[in-house]
Amino acid sequence: MAKKSTNFDEKVETLRAHGFVVSPYGGTPQAVLVSKQGVAAVLATGSEEQLAFVEPPGALVGGEVARLLDRGYQKFLKTARFEIPATAGALEGIHAFTEELKLLVGSVSLYNESLGTTSDLYQYDRLRGREAVVPTASQPWEQTGGH
């Protein structure tokens, strides 16, 4: 088990020592892209020197960290340009990467996340269109066109 590091730079060095590739991330200052075996996440310094996920762990697709999208019948890897079906190997890779990353940086690992890969987005097609504005219920004291 890795020793707990106290600051951002020590945590980044711990990740490098365990085979993670760490490179600067242009989108956010003081953020790094951490990758290993085709999976990546973007980390930055949060409160009290804790690492925060700018981009949650996902597969690298076209040089971009893909978000995991659940459509009920299938999981997809979604980037700004692509949306491809997620394979079992990709899901296993994301899960293993997330568990190892959280262990090394001293982040909280939740029980439901340790059981398997969880999605970032949920879009069930049978629910598409239900997000329309719901009319507000009339109040009993307001007069309506009835009696």
CA distance linking residue 21 with residue 52, whole number of Å: 18
In this predicted structure, what is the pLDDT of residue 35? 93
Burial 54-89 (b: 16+ CB within 10 A, else e): bbebbbbbeebbbbbbbbeeebbbbbeeeeeebeee
Q: Sign of the CA dihedral 45, 51, 54, 59?
A: positive
In this predicted structure, what is the pLDDT of residue 69? 86
In this predicted structure, what is the pLDDT of residue 135? 61
In this predicted structure, what is the pLDDT of residue 90? 92
The 10s digit of each residue's pLDDT in 122-136 is 666 655 566 656 566
pTM, full prediction: 0.72
Length of the chain: 147
CA distance linking residue 34 with residue 43, whole number of Å: 7
In this predicted structure, what is the pLDDT of residue 44? 87
The domain limits of the chain are 8-124
In this predicted structure, what is the pLDDT of residue 103? 87
Contacts of 143 (CB under 8 A, 6+ apart): none
In this predicted structure, what is the pLDDT of residue 137? 65
Question: Tens digit of pLDDT per residue, the chain (147 long)?
Answer: 455 546 888 888 999 999 999 998 886 778 899 999 999 999 888 766 677 888 889 999 888 899 988 887 888 999 999 899 999 999 999 989 989 998 888 887 777 677 666 676 766 665 556 665 656 666 766 666 655
CA distance linking residue 8 with residue 30, whole number of Å: 9
In this predicted structure, what is the pLDDT of residue 56? 87
